[in-house]
């Protein structure tokens, strides 16, 4: 037992049937060292930030000690990985419990890279430092971009090496999530559990994320529709900032609507609909343009798990499920169009808006224009500084765009303000993230990552520091690759 650190853990997930988890004995590590601690998140969780950086807390992040009331467990789930169904589960993660904050919100506290579990499938259950730093940096950037996401509370090195293609320093990430319940959790229940266990999982998840649906005429259908809407909004936000998840398997889609598992993720530099960075996505299944359709496919798998609960007959349940899934496309399109209008300073809705947006994106792809910087150039009225801005096709497009802005009641200043609020000053460029990882792994220099995390805060503030940082060199090519890290 260690100090309290203001942990206020409960363990409602452990009250589900034992089929949904394996209770664990933590796997201690040799010499843990704290390398990152998220004070902003710690404060939001109601934790004492000074105590949370003490050596006793570091022992908790490493799995060498447990906080009061922790019931360590690995969660069971299945999933469609690149379209193929398989049994999975937390092969290197350990849920400590649920932190209940001073304002009565509930968040999972999980250790990622904590050692072998029943679901490790021959793996060592450990994580390398590089991928844990990537997840810590990118998830914080996503939070600052106002995109729902899991977050990192801390990263510790373990003092132990792990073997991948080469020997690498080990690390553990303390991950915080509204919950780690996934589409794959429901697939597991539907394939390997009894109907009573599926009902218990659904009721628990509804109580945790959608308690209001209990009052609906068909609570499970209302629950499904809520999940569909959350995911439509999430994927639209990904597309609007050029984020590519890289491995949108069903076990990587949360019921809460948070982005999870930053393995081979990346942000686009040059705009291209077919952009793929993941080394394991050989056929482009999870390419940038495919993310909305893959999300709909994943949600269809979720709906299938709920069929026994949706209707009085199979036919009725299937009709309800199909209707709910059919809502994803229009919802996604609504959120995406709304976001693109905001990025272009457009108020209201007009018939030609989508065509105007698509024309710009087509030009950007043809001329390999940087996605983020093109919208910034329009925001700052500096498009002539970029090659695209000097092309005749773009000049003709700009005339139409200006006519659209001039036809609305809102002022030019209002449009510029709208654009500032929805076009980030900078994103975590792939090369910058790699530089931060390399400095940490090769030289034990964490200052590069700390500086990057700092400059990525409040990206819509457009500070002078951010503008200066954004001028740094980065690779706009398509040769960059990301790796899963398992």
Which residues form the catalytic set?
251
Q: Contact, 13 vs 98, CB < 8 A?
A: yes
From residue 154, alpha-carbon distances to 92, 111, 130, 206, 424 in Å are 16, 9, 14, 29, 26
C-alpha span between 120 and 126 (Å, rounded): 10
DSSP code of residue 278? B
DSSP labels, 442-482: HH---HHHHHHHHHTSSGGG--HHHHHHTTS----SS---B
3-state class of 338 per DSSP?
Answer: helix
Could you tell me which residues come within 8 angstroms of residue 133 by beta carbon, excluding any fewer than 6 positions away? 36, 155, 171, 436, 437, 440, 441, 449
Q: Which of 113, 176, 111, 110 is nearest to 143 (CA)?
A: 176
Written as six digits, the tokens of 256 are 């809460």
Could you tell me which residues come within 8 angstroms of residue 385 by beta carbon, excluding any fewer than 6 positions away? 377
């Amino acid at each position: 037992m260690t100090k309290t650190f203001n942990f206020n853990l409960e363990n409602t997930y452990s009250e589900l049937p034992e089929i949904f988890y394996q209770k664990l004995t933590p796997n201690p590590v040799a010499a843990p060292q704290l390398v990152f601690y998220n004070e902003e998140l710690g404060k939001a969780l109601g934790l004492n930030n000074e105590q949370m950086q003490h050596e006793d807390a570091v022992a908790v992040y490493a799995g060498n000690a447990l906080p009061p009331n922790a019931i360590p467990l690995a969660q069971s789930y299945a999933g469609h990985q690149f379209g193929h169904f398989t049994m999975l589960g937390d092969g290197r993660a350990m849920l400590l419990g649920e932190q209940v904050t001073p304002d009565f919100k509930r968040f999972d506290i999980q250790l990622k890279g904590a050692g072998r579990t029943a679901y490790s499938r021959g793996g060592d259950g450990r994580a390398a430092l590089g991928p844990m730093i990537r997840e810590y940096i990118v998830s914080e950037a996503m939070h600052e971009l106002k995109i729902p996401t899991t977050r990192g509370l801390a990263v510790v090195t373990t003092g132990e090496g792990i073997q991948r293609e080469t020997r690498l320093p080990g690390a553990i990430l303390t991950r915080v999530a509204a919950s780690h319940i996934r589409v794959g959790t429901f697939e597991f229940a539907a394939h390997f559990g009894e109907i009573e266990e599926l009902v218990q999982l659904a009721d628990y998840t509804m109580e945790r994320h959608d308690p209001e649906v209990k009052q609906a005429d068909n609570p499970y259908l209302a629950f499904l529709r809520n999940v569909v809407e959350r995911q439509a909004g999430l994927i639209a936000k990904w597309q609007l900032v050029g984020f590519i998840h890289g491995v949108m398997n069903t076990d990587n889609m949360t019921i809460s609507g948070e982005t999870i598992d930053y393995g081979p993720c990346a942000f686009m530099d040059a705009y291209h609909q077919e952009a793929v960075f993941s080394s394991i996505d050989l056929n482009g299944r999870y390419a940038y343009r495919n993310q909305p359709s893959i999300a709909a496919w994943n949600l269809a798998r979720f709906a299938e798990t709920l069929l026994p609960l949706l209707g009085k007959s199979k036919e009725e349940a299937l009709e309800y499920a199909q209707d709910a899934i059919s809502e994803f496309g229009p919802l996604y399109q609504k959120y995406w169009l709304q976001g693109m209008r905001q990025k272009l300073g457009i108020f209201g809705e007009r018939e030609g808006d989508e065509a105007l947006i698509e024309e710009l994106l087509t030009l950007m792809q043809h001329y390999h224009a940087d996605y983020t910087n093109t919208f910034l150039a329009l925001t700052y009225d500096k498009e002539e500084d970029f090659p695209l801005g000097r092309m005749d096709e773009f000049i003709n497009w700009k005339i139409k765009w200006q006519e659209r802005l001039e036809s609305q009641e809102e002022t030019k200043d209002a449009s510029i303000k709208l654009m500032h609020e929805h076009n980030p000053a900078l994103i975590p460029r792939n090369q910058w993230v790699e530089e931060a990882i390399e400095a940490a792994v090769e030289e034990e220099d964490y200052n590069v990552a700390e500086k990057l995390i700092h400059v990525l805060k409040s990206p819509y503030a457009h500070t002078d520091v951010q503008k200066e940082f954004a001028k740094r060199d980065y690779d706009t090519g398509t040769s960059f690759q990301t790796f899963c890290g398992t």
